[in-house]
Structure 1
Amino acid sequence: MLAFDHIVVASEHPLNDRRQLTEKYNLTGVPGGHHENWGTFNELCYFSNRNYIEWLGLQHPDTASQSDNPLIQQFKQTFDQGNMGPFQFALRTTDMDGYISYFRSQNIAYTGPFPGERMRPDGSVLKWRMLFPKGPDGLPPLPFLIEWEGVNEPSQASDINAEKFQSLSIGTEEIERFKEALVHTFQLKNMEEPFQLTYRWPLQNGELILTKGQHIFVQFDTFQL
């Protein structure tokens, strides 16, 4: 089963935005790292059921503009338009190759996988792969898949907050089309709620909720983002 991995927040000032959240809710945040190949950097806030918030910032605009990574392309467009805030999220898998085979068999267009890495503050290197399925034209981008080499966690266990992810909500006016795209692409069980424009799917560490006309947000035990 897929898990919610992290939500990506476009930020002009990642450190300031991370501190604003962590100080308001008495949470712990940590520096992320620099993505030399993408021209970006990040700040992070980890939670106890293996998910986190990423504030993504722009460090080298020219490098970011030349990146072929769909997440960086989407971030750069979002950043240039001044639309700061949550704009994308990742679902974690331990079988990315299986999804690649599935996408091929179902003629689902995709880009990747893209390798990524960054150096943690303690000097260790964290590596991962990202896979970007392409949804139908006219819909918001589908979430992307991420597969970690090892476990993604901060250098110190004390930097993991006790709060847990409860739900992640995404919204679109084209809710029926987006629902079908999610079900088909990620092999989610088609769970319908009659008389409501709301659809819910269980994840390993929470719940994915699709609603009409709502932005991306995550809900934790004590706050929303």
Structure 2
Amino acid sequence: MQRRHRLGPLPALLLIALAPATAAANDLGEKLAKEGNDNGAAACVTCHGADGGGNGAAGWPRMAGMNADYLAKQLDDMASGERDNATMKPIASGLSAEERRAVAEYYAEMEVPAEAPGTDAAKSVLERGQAIAQQGLWRKGVPSCVACHGPGGDGVGADFPAISGQHASYIENQFTAWQDGNRQNDPNDLMASVAKRLTEEEIKAVAAWFASQPARPSAE
């Protein structure tokens, strides 16, 4: 009985010990997101917005509510050059590994925007996009988007990001990057093989449908 009494409080004590470190990481992530640092990393909010919702017209993605491991991996890949992005490379390179992780966790904990980016695509285009997203195009060897990105496109872990409520222009740009070979940091070259089987019209339809869906936090 005495032994159990001594061990009982340990989980609570561990939580108390971890709390200051977690709070410090959150504070660091928020500071970097809002102010950047003195090592060449500009404030994230300059492009991604104060709410983390991104800027569709400029091609900047939503980051609020995205999986922290996914965001950290993308920042790491852009810093190393594994993911080619001329704008983001100096910013990601200007962050230390600790800072990149702090920023990723900050955005992962941020509430997603209340409204989807929306689209002016015609109903027929949205229906086409929905069919591809949910059923795929098996005659062309294209699986459904939700088979990897989860129900509703809410994302699965570090490899398959949430695309629900993402800007259509950003989704289109990534498909083009995979088609051209300018982006190659996905597992087993999966997205490149999918992108190369889709037409421009099909890509626009898929992008428009996901942009019309409510933004939801990553499922995992």
TM-score, structure 1 length as denominator? 0.32
TM-score, structure 2 length as denominator? 0.32
More strand by percentage: 1
Larger Rg: 2
More helix by percentage: 2
